[in-house]
Amino acid sequence: MSQRVVVIGGDAAGMTVASALRRTLPQDHEVVVLERGSWTSYSACGIPYWISGEVGSPEALVARSVQAHLDNGIDVRMGAEATAIDPVARTVSIRDADDLAYDRLVIATGAEPVRPDLPGIDGSGIYGVQTLDDGQALIDGLAKRPDKVVVVGSGYVGLEIAEACVARGFDTTVVDRSPTPLSIIEPQLGEQVAAAMRKHGIRLLADTAVTGFGLDDDGHVGAVDTEDESIEADLVVLGLGVTARSTLAAAAGLPLGAKGGIVVDEHQRVTGFDDIWAAGDCVVTQDRLTGDLIHVPLGTHANKQGLVAADSILADVTGQQPRIDFPGVVRTAITKFCALEVSRTGLGARQARDAGFDPVTVSIETTNFAGYMPDPETMTVVMIADRSTRRLLGAQIVGGEDSALRIDVAATALAVGMSVDDIVMLDLAYAPPFSSVWSPIQVAARAAVKALG
């Protein structure tokens, strides 16, 4: 019997589900995608590189166009904004269109930038950066050649945008309430990021809480107000992170967790709702180390969760067992910023303590390849291990070329609960152009072993 899957949201998670289902479901099953914006399947992570000019056009960030999805037999409806979900009647309401009935629903509504409730926040010239439409708005704003750009927040998106603005010649200031930028890394590594910012001509106001925005008579931003001073600003970018875009889900009574993320099981099925799945930046997912449900909005998880949701829906349609599940995350993140590479995985020292571990933290300096080769660059690796079990809890890297991706060894080790002793004995790649005889992750693991005694 022909059935209909409706997917709300046409970016990474939504289009992954739709594409996988279109490949596997019988052709008489409908796959409908409702996308309120102008684009499908795009890389939001690429927006800073579009702003900087390294990427020439928004089209370049689109992995697959609307037409390509249509040609694949997916009923993509652009500009279609879902306004309500009725889980009992199994219908979705759409602005300026008839309600659409579904047999199975996928919510992939993504995330939205945090916009704190501060005086002046709704002034013009204040931008979030989450969608390609947001990116276009920011580019249009920069085209007016503002004298002073202020980025509020020093998470990786904030920093990447700040670097892009400096690259384009704008006077750029980053304001953050934290004492060091990039609060996802330990403060001693954050200091290195702060030094790189200064070297690249980015002004950093750390330990500084924004209290509001000064607007001119036209309602355009003119200043960012902080506890200490008022900073001149013709254009403001909000880099304060995101929360799940889950208003629709909330209104329909779906369970929500941290930062408004929809609560799902390991098959991305919404807890308590047999006909509804959710995936991507709008859900919470399990931290593999702590078991906590956390909100980690990243394209890499959205793609995997999309595959898992599609597999579960196919199993539901065919009456078979699902073949895959989503095991959760270990909070891996990476960025390149002002000639520094930065990465992290697992828990930071404070997160580890908060989760009830007894963490031992070590920090080592090494080089990105054998020290006798020409021009080695330094890198710092911080490693956090649990005193009682000797398990790896987390690792972080800041360094020059060829440093940050080494975090993947730690991310893999975390997934299986490996001890720092076992990491020391891994058979990792070694040749002089790539590392010293001990890989940087192993140099850190040896330091952790020593610290654990």
Binding residues for a copy of itself, rule: CB under 8 A, are: 12, 43, 45-46, 49, 54-55, 60-61, 156, 288, 298-301, 303-304, 324, 326-327, 329-336, 343, 345, 370, 372-374, 402, 404-409, 411-416, 418, 421-422, 424-435, 437-439
Q: Which is nearer to a copy of itself, 243 or 419 (CB)?
A: 419
Measured CA to CA, the distance from residue 304 to residue 307 in angstroms comes to: 5
Measured CA to CA, the distance from residue 1 to residue 341 in angstroms comes to: 53
Q: Which is nearer to a copy of itself, 253 or 432 (CB)?
A: 432
Least distance (Å) between residue 25 CB and a copy of itself: 17
The tokens of 341 are what?
């590479």
Least distance (Å) between residue 207 CB and a copy of itself: 27
Q: Are 432 and 369 in contact (CB under 8 A)?
A: yes
The tokens of 280 are what?
């991507």
Measured CA to CA, the distance from residue 14 to residue 75 in angstroms comes to: 12
369: closest CA among 377, 361, 360?
Answer: 377
Q: Which is nearer to a copy of itself, 228 or 325 (CB)?
A: 325
Name residue 148's beta-bridge partners: 171
Among the listed residues 45, 165, 282, 338, the single catalytic one is 45
The tokens of 257 are what?
């967790």
Measured CA to CA, the distance from residue 265 to residue 286 in angstroms comes to: 9
DSSP H helical ranges for 265-298? none
What's at 323, amino acid-wise? R
Residue written as token pair 């995101």: 242
What does residue 410 show for φ and ψ, rounded to 5 degrees?
-65, -40
What does residue 140 show for φ and ψ, rounded to 5 degrees?
-65, -40
- Burial 329-347, CB ≥16 within 10 A → b, else e: bbbbbbbebbebbbbbbbb
Per DSSP bridges, beta strands 276-278 and 104-107 are: parallel
Measured CA to CA, the distance from residue 357 to residue 210 in angstroms comes to: 34
| Rg over CA atoms, the chain | 23
Neighbours of 70 (CB within 10 A): 14
Q: Which is nearer to a copy of itself, 218 or 427 (CB)?
A: 427
Least distance (Å) between residue 103 CB and a copy of itself: 27
Least distance (Å) between residue 444 CB and a copy of itself: 14
Least distance (Å) between residue 113 CB and a copy of itself: 18
Least distance (Å) between residue 159 CB and a copy of itself: 11
Q: Which is nearer to a copy of itself, 345 or 361 (CB)?
A: 345
Least distance (Å) between residue 48 CB and a copy of itself: 8
Q: Which is nearer to a copy of itself, 116 or 432 (CB)?
A: 432
Measured CA to CA, the distance from residue 370 to residue 441 in angstroms comes to: 14
| 165 assigned to active site | no
Q: Which is nearer to a copy of itself, 317 or 415 (CB)?
A: 415
Residues involved in catalysis: 45
